[in-house]
């Protein structure tokens, strides 16, 4: 639920508006209590002083309420332009980074909460000037409005800084890499209430049936592992997820295979398979490489011609592949509390990840010596780290790259230069 709410842009602002209303109600009650206490002690002069202070603050509150919405519109119009520029310069899939940005949601939430709170405060100003007849003086509320405005200004500075960073190549590819490593950590450590290990799949009992997808067509974004494990444990069976995370599924196609006698009911399997319009990095091990490869391909296109950006993407691709080079990949076996396998899930293997990271970039690297030199250096590093049984995909890509450069570059000196491994490409 947390991951799905992070992909929305309405939850945090809505929650902020509710909190602003609650805060206003509490501050209004406190102001009324202060006035009632002073009137009970017949301190009418002090009530009159409070009325004077509140009237002076009313001008500030009125200005804030009228200017805040205009300020919000201008700020986020500029933000949409920045998002569009980042989407065109990198890849449309980086837009989700802006959507999931905590500082962006927090800034919008505080802006809207300040606007609503200032409007509610304006309703508390009493037209009566007699201290004995006044029921409330919005003094505490006015102070809170000023505090919220100051907080909005600080968040605006942080928001601009964060948005400018997300328009740069380095921070974007770093964010994608960190998300990829978080997914890898989940695969290595398992879900809290459904631990699993990776490696060669244990032999399963014969398949007894399949469960078809009945929802809408879309990309398989993630699965509720804990719920699937509990459903399989109740029936004493093993479930096997047929499509991978990130596959496009259509209604009627099988998504779960049942191994063993019996099968979980449709009601038990509700809210276990989540399908959306695009991939997400929550459980998708290869989505980070997909984004990095897309950014590199766009940078190497003739319209952009930015090989340095491609080299930055290759740095992160090599970093990720180096982290998984010695890890077990293949079928993931989710176990219940007693250690019995209840769910088998297929994840990309080593060759799949290497192909995803290198295949498409290699096609453009022959015409860019900076990229070919960096790609060769990365492959050579991985050959030193990878076990013997995982070197074949790396050797294959290295051989194909050398052959492509030899076909593309006619002069021997240029070929030798393009095939010289260099971790910076060309310095």
Residue 137 belongs to a domain: yes
Last residue of a domain, one of 167, 191, 207: 167
| pLDDT value at 194 more than 60 | no
From 123, 140, 167, give the residue that closes a domain: 167
What region does 424 belong to: left with phi over 0, alpha with psi -120 to 50, or beta?
A: alpha
* Statement to judge: residues 163 and 293 lie in one domain: no
Interval 223-230 mean pLDDT: 90
Handedness of CA 327, 170, 166, 317 (dihedral sign): negative
341 lies in a domain?
no
Residue 279 has a pLDDT of 86
* Burial class (CB within 10 angstroms; exposed 0-12, middle 13-18, buried 19+) of 413: exposed
Give the residue from 123, 151, 167 where a domain finishes: 167
Q: Quickly list H helices, 100-166.
A: 102-122, 139-165
195 has pLDDT over 70: no
Domain presence at residue 425: no
343 falls within a domain: no
Residue 192: per-residue pLDDT: 33
- Predicted confidence band of residue 190 (pLDDT cuts 50, 70, 90): very low
Question: What does 257-275 look like in DSSP terms, one character per residue?
Answer: EEESS----TTTTTTSEEE
**Largest Cα span, the chain:** 100
Q: What's the domain count of the chain?
A: 2
Q: Are both 161 and 292 inside the same structural domain? A: no
pLDDT digits (tens, 9 = 90+) for 120-162: 988 877 655 555 655 567 788 888 998 999 999 999 999 888 8
* Tens digit of each residue's pLDDT (9 = 90 or more) over 315-373: 999 999 999 998 888 788 888 888 888 899 888 889 999 999 999 999 889 889 999 99
Enclosing domain of residue 366: 287-329+348-418
Give the orientation angle of helix 169-189 with respect to helix 307-324, to 10 degrees.
10
Task: Find, among 383, 425, 375, 427, the residue nearest to 404 by Cα.
Answer: 375
Averaged pLDDT score across all residues of the chain: 85
Cβ within 8 Å of residue 309, ≥6 positions away = 169, 295, 296, 299
344 forms bridges with which residues in the sheet?
Answer: 240, 333
238, β-bridge pairs: 259
- Is the pLDDT confidence value at 396 over 90? yes
Mean pLDDT of the 33-39 span: 71
Give the integer Cα–Cα distance in Å for 147 and 271. 42
Question: Residue 17: CB partners within 8 Å, gap ≥ 6?
Answer: 112, 113, 116
Provide the percentage of residues in the chain whose pLDDT is more than 70.
89
């Amino acid at each position: 639920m947390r991951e799905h709410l992070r992909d929305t842009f309405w939850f945090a602002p809505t929650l902020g508006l509710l909190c602003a209303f609650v805060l206003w109600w509490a501050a209004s009650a406190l102001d009324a209590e202060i006035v009632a206490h002073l009137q009970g002690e017949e301190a009418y002069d002090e009530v009159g002083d409070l009325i004077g202070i509140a009237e002076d603050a009313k001008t500030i509150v009125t200005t804030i309420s009228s200017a805040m919405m205009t300020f919000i519109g201008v700020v986020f119009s500029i933000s949409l332009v920045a998002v569009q520029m980042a989407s065109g310069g990198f890849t449309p899939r980086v837009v989700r980074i802006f959507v999931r940005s905590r500082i962006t949601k927090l800034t919008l939430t505080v802006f809207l909460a300040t606007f609503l709170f200032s409007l509610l405060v304006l309703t508390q100003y009493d037209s009566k000037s007699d201290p004995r007849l006044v029921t409330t003086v919005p003094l505490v509320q006015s102070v809170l409005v000023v505090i919220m405005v100051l907080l909005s200004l600080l968040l605006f500075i942080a928001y601009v800084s964060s948005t400018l960073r997300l328009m740069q190549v380095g921070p974007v590819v770093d964010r994608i890499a960190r998300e990829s490593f978080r997914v890898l950590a989940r695969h290595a450590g398992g879900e809290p209430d459904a631990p699993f290990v990776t490696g060669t799949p244990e032999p399963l009992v014969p398949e007894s049936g399949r469960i078809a997808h009945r929802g809408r067509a879309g990309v398989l974004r993630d699965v509720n592992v804990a719920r699937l494990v509990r459903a399989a444990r109740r029936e004493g069976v093993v479930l096997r997820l047929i499509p991978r995370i990130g596959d496009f599924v259509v209604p009627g196609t099988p998504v779960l295979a049942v191994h063993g006698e019996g099968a979980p009911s449709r009601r038990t399997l509700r809210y276990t398979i989540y399908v959306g319009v695009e991939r997400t990095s929550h459980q998708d091990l290869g989505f980070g490489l997909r984004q990095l490869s897309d950014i590199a391909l766009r940078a190497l296109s003739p319209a952009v011609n930015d090989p340095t950006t491609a080299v930055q993407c290759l740095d992160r691709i090599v970093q990720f592949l180096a982290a998984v080079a010695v890890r077990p990949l293949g079928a993931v076996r989710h176990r219940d509390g007693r250690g019995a396998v209840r769910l088998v899930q297929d994840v990309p293997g080593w060759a799949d990840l290497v192909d995803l990271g290198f295949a498409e970039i290699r096609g453009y690297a022959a015409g860019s010596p900076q990229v070919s030199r960096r790609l060769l250096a990365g492959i050579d590093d991985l050959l030193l780290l990878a076990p013997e049984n995982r070197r074949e995909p790396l050797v294959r890509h290295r051989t194909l790259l050398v052959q492509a450069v030899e076909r593309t570059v006619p002069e021997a000196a240029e070929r030798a230069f393009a095939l010289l491994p260099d971790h910076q490409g060309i310095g």
